[in-house]
């Protein structure tokens, strides 16, 4: 099966081989070296001097951690789809109040709307933005939105789960307080590891936070990292080894720019192919994601039918999500994908839609 999923995605053979190394203790020098090298590579990749932590969870774990460590009472969630909504749900389930800034599905959050919402709600402590809304294949204008958040002096959390590794992120320049992702998306690593950069301000708030729990306490991550390049619990060593390998490959293949260019080209080719088939895209023009293409199903066919027929031909795409499950289908281009596979997938799609 050729995977064009939205995660978990296919992994490079070298990365999978790296995961089969013999285990060592997370209190050993071998682990310390692995941890330190992975962190330093991530800091270069994210262009940040902030600390970067490794979490033994998927991305949603860090979503919850941002709230428990850094929000006392009230936060703002920008919602363009299922994952923005999840942020709000997680905040409410932790007893926080949420101001929702919703856009119609397929539309980005605009800097003007965000500015207006922050003027109307000066008491929110933090703003959460889903950089790339996987459910509808939409990328938000993060640099401009970040500027608005910072002009209001608020903390900024960025859910970069389906963006990190496939779309530009400049943590320090854009002033992101917590920027997180999961291993099973653009980095092309099996699931089970999340990474996040955490600012000094976020750590200061964590220090003052009460009832933040133990497992996701940012201050404990900081203490163990500074003291011994390790974590306060047993980390997922195979995933971390795989991530170090992937970051090493990125650096060897021309660095971040070359990797982002690859994502741009892959998504452009997929969009071009979609256009050649007279199909249309779901998100507003100009905000199409470089990692997930969300396509409107043609007249007389549901997105689910297209998904099923593509599977019969050996291609695993992704069904639409939530409200647009029937009307759309999605084509991910994250992880280990060859150019020939993209061409074959588009050929199969042409047969399927007839
Ligand atoms: C944008 C976005 N945020 C959050 C999540 C949840 O991440 P995880 O499944 O790693 O917890 C996903 C998963 O697809 C996602 O795409």
Q: What is the pLDDT of residue 138?
A: 98
| pTM for the full predicted model | 0.98
Here the tokens at position 232 are 């306060």
* Chain centroid to CA 241: 20
Residue 12 pLDDT class (50, 70, 90 cuts): very high
Pocket lining: 182 vs ligand 1, CB cutoff 6 Å: yes
Pocket lining: 110 vs ligand 1, CB cutoff 6 Å: no
| Integer Cα distance of 247 and 319 in angstroms | 30
Q: What is the pLDDT of residue 254?
A: 96
Atom of ligand 1 nearest to the CA of 58: 10
User: Quick one: CA dihedral 334, 134, 299, 267, positive or negative?
Assistant: negative
305: left (phi over 0), alpha (psi -120 to 50) or beta: alpha
The residue-averaged pLDDT of 255-284 equals: 98
| Integer Cα distance of 170 and 48 in angstroms | 7
Q: Give residues with Cβ within 8 angstroms of 116, minimum separation 6.
A: none
Determine the Cα angle at 160 with ends 286 and 205, to 5°.
Answer: 130
Q: Write the CA distances from 39 to 57, 77, 247, integer angstroms.
A: 17, 28, 10
Pocket lining: 315 vs ligand 1, CB cutoff 6 Å: no
Top mutation candidate among 56, 134, 243 for ligand 1, by most atoms within 8 Å of CB = 134
| Integer Cα distance of 186 and 84 in angstroms | 19
CATH number for region 255-353: 3.90.1150.10
Per-domain boundaries in the chain: 13-252, 255-353
Q: Give residues with Cβ within 8 angstroms of 154, minimum separation 6.
A: 76, 118, 124, 125, 126, 127
Helix or strand (DSSP H, E) at 18: helix 13-18
Which CATH number, 3.40.50.2000, 3.30.2350.10, 3.40.640.10, 3.30.70.360, labels domain 13-252?
A: 3.40.640.10
Mean pLDDT of all residues in the chain?
98
Q: Crossing angle of helices 237-252/255-276, nearest 10°?
A: 90
The yes-or-no answer to whether 13-252 and 255-353 have a common fold is: no
| Integer Cα distance of 44 and 135 in angstroms | 29
Q: What is the pLDDT of residue 185?
A: 98
Pocket lining: 103 vs ligand 1, CB cutoff 6 Å: no
The residue-averaged pLDDT of 246-257 equals: 97
Q: pLDDT of 79-91, one tens digit each?
A: 999 999 999 999 9
What Rg value do the Cα atoms of the chain yield, rounded?
A: 20
| Integer Cα distance of 3 and 5 in angstroms | 5
Residue 303 pLDDT class (50, 70, 90 cuts): very high
Q: pLDDT of 166-176, one tens digit each?
A: 999 999 999 99
The residue-averaged pLDDT of 121-141 equals: 98
Q: What is the pLDDT of residue 154?
A: 98
The residue-averaged pLDDT of 324-336 equals: 97
The residue-averaged pLDDT of 4-28 equals: 97
Residues of the chain above pLDDT 70, percent: 100
């Amino acid at each position: 099966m050729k995977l064009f999923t939205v995660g978990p995605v296919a992994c490079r053979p070298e990365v999978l081989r790296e995961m089969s190394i013999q285990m060592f203790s997370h209190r050993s020098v071998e682990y310390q070296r692995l941890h330190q090298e992975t962190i330093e590579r991530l800091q270069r990749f994210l262009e940040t001097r902030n600390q970067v932590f490794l979490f033994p969870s998927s991305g949603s774990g860090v979503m919850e951690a941002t709230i428990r460590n850094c929000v006392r009472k009230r936060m703002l969630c920008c919602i363009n789809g299922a994952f923005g909504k999840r942020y709000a749900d997680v905040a409410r389930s932790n007893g926080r109040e949420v101001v929702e800034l919703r856009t119609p599905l397929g539309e980005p959050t605009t800097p003007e709307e965000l500015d207006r919402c922050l003027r109307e709600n000066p008491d929110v402590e933090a703003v959460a933005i889903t950089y790339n809304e996987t459910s509808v294949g939409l990328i938000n204008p993060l640099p401009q939105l970040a500027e608005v958040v910072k002009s209001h002096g608020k903390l900024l959390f960025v859910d970069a789960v389906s963006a990190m590794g496939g779309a530009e992120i400049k943590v320090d320049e854009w002033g992101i307080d917590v920027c997180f992702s999961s291993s099973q998306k653009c980095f092309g690593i099996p699931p089970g590891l999340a990474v996040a950069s955490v600012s000094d301000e976020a750590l200061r708030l964590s220090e003052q936070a009460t009832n933040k729990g133990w497992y996701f306490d940012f201050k404990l991550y900081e203490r163990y990292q500074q003291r011994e390049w390790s974590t306060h619990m047993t980390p997922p060593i195979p995933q971390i080894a795989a991530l170090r390998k992937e970051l090493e490959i990125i650096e060897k293949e021309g660095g971040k720019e070359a990797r982002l260019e690859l994502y741009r080209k892959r998504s452009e080719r997929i969009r071009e192919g979609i256009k050649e088939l007279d199909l249309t895209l779901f998100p507003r023009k100009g905000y199409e994601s470089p990692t997930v293409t969300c396509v409107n199903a043609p007249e007389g066919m549901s997105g689910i039918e297209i998904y099923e027929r593509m599977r019969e031909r050996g291609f695993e795409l992704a069904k639409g999500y939530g409200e647009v499950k029937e009307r759309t289908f999605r084509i991910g281009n994250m992880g280990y994908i060859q150019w020939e596979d993209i061409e074959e997938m588009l050929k199969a799609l042409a047969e399927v839609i007839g």
